[in-house]
Amino acid sequence: MSDNQVVYNGETITRGPLAYEGKAKQVFETNDPDILWLHYMDQVTALNGKVKEDFAGKGHFNNIISDLIFAYLSHQGIAHHWLTEISETDQLVRRVEIIPLEVVTRNYSAGHFVSRFDVKPMMQLSPRVQELYYKSDPLDDPFMNNSQALSLKIASQDELDQVFAMADQVNNALVKLFDEVKITLVDFKLEFGRLKDGQIILADEISPDTMRLVDQATGKSLDKDVFRKKEGDLRVGYEDVLNRLREHVK
């Protein structure tokens, strides 16, 4: 079996042509039209791709952390695209039609929320905040409200209801999981997609590239903020997150 083949559920899956290269992952077609092959790259970007750097091993951390989190979410009954890990940096997922919305949940103030509303960082947000951004690199992922998403036919009301309810389910599960490993889940971004029959499932990745995580003991960031704020090598935090989750999620 070569590097571009793997057996999944008794079926040989062969990596096909590159369908799309994003800022963090390469998406490959496979011989199965319902399955995509994701490769996590070492590249890290900030400011929507304007700042870019390579950190050897970063893709590995994000791949494995995503694997652990999706596996954990399976136990919580949350429908998602992740099928299996196939290597240190690669995974198989169910192909979806991505809804071009970034669904952000905030438990504490950070990032844009702090600058936009001029509030202190790490202020507990109760109830938690849910936000939508339109996923568009040329437009820099602008903020989008529900009526804009409806009017522009990006999602139906029923789909928006489902997406927000699922984001809450994920939030509840992840706040608990991270708390158990003494990490505060500050905020995170989710993407959702449609299967052929219209069912909405969670897609993309859940990793320190897409979450803000703070060590409860030291207050230190364990996520991409370390890169955004030029506070050193982000891999230190990513590895710490991976080790704590690995110990905990069995």
Ligand X SMILES: Nc1ncnc2c1ncn2[C@@H]1O[C@H](COP(=O)(O)OP(=O)(O)O)[C@@H](O)[C@H]1O
For ligand X, give the closer residue by CB, 19 or 123: 19
User: Which residues contact residue 167 at a Cβ distance below 8 angstroms, ignoring those fewer than 6 apart?
Assistant: 103, 105, 130, 190
For ligand X, give the closer residue by CB, 20 or 143: 20
Among ligand X, Mg ion, none, what does residue 80 contact (CB within 5–8 Å per kind)? none
For ligand X, give the closer residue by CB, 24 or 69: 24
CB of 247 to ligand X, least distance (A): 27
Among ligand X, Mg ion, none, what does residue 125 contact (CB within 5–8 Å per kind)? none
What residues line the site for Mg ion (CB under 5 A)? 24
For ligand X, give the closer residue by CB, 103 or 203: 203
CB of 24 to Mg ion, least distance (A): 5
* Closest residue to Mg ion in the complex (CB): 24
The answer to whether 52 and 65 are in contact (CB under 8 A) is no
As given in the structure block, the two tokens for residue 83 are: 């099928």
Among Mg ion, ligand X, none, what does residue 208 contact (CB within 5–8 Å per kind)? none
CB of 81 to ligand X, least distance (A): 4
For Mg ion, give the closer residue by CB, 181 or 234: 234
Among ligand X, Mg ion, none, what does residue 193 contact (CB within 5–8 Å per kind)? ligand X
For ligand X, give the closer residue by CB, 99 or 181: 99
Say how many C-beta atoms besides its own lie within 10 A of residue 108's C-beta. Answer: 21
CB of 98 to ligand X, least distance (A): 4
CB of 8 to ligand X, least distance (A): 15
CB of 230 to ligand X, least distance (A): 21
What residues line the site for ligand X (CB under 6 A)? 20, 22-25, 27, 36, 81, 93-96, 98, 191, 193, 203-204
